[in-house]
Structure 1
């Protein structure tokens, strides 16, 4: 058994040596030309303009020259970065959605993401802040619910607390 392991190990070492010798014989040529730090910076819009002519033309027809694609067109299902000059937003969208059905296209100032094929809310001025429930307000609500005859499970679900806490309180106060 040990003899077979030694043979196997020696064979693997010989194979590894042969592979290394073959790699040393192969000359690697660079695929890309060497980087020159003196090249002028490339404008992202100008860089992809030639490749995106057809897609940009269809966008111009649909959106009246307001939406510009900022990345290279890859396929209809690839998410690309777009910019709307009308509303000033930069957003990701799939070309099939941008040029597809009316409920999938970009609408200025409207939020995305509704499941029923309608837009949920307008983005401009849509910064609603949640009203924090302070401990005094919760205590007042708790006492009011006790006065109105709520069960401890109903109070717990309304206040989003563990029901055993409310039950223990009811037992200590003699309500149960």
Structure 2
């Protein structure tokens, strides 16, 4: 099962992701946590792991992905990342931090001032989640960035369930209504 975890900033998405990962691991599941928040550098610490190398580097880095995206716009063909289906074990080791039954991968992070938008990370996330196969003992937890950008990129298309985290604020309730509407049309 692949579960996308979303909500507004500061509502506890990463904390809930880490707690779910630890609980599911104790229950014997093989857990892959996908850090899909390009601006949060704390999830790995909550899991007791090192931050792995950005997965987008497997595909040549952010600049190469941007060029591939631009080329796809001009040809009208979707960017192709994978030429075969992957399982969790197929993710190259340098892009995963692991302990016991929990593996962590970071799709990509904003590292430098002025490096541009996170669009390539969203596109790669969408393709990764649509491409990766999970077994009956596998759980994929996707910790997203704050807000609804992942819906604009179609990241949730590859997930089986959506978990929306809200806090008791007006902004969080409004965002939950928006996310609910977007999820119904996905």
Common fold: TM-score over 0.5: no
Which one has more relative contact order, counting CA pairs under 8 Å at least 6 apart? 2
Higher strand share: 2
Shorter-chain TM-score bucket reads under 0.3
Tell me the TM-score normalized by structure 1.
0.18
> Looking at CA atoms only, which structure, 1 or 2, has the larger radius of gyration?
1
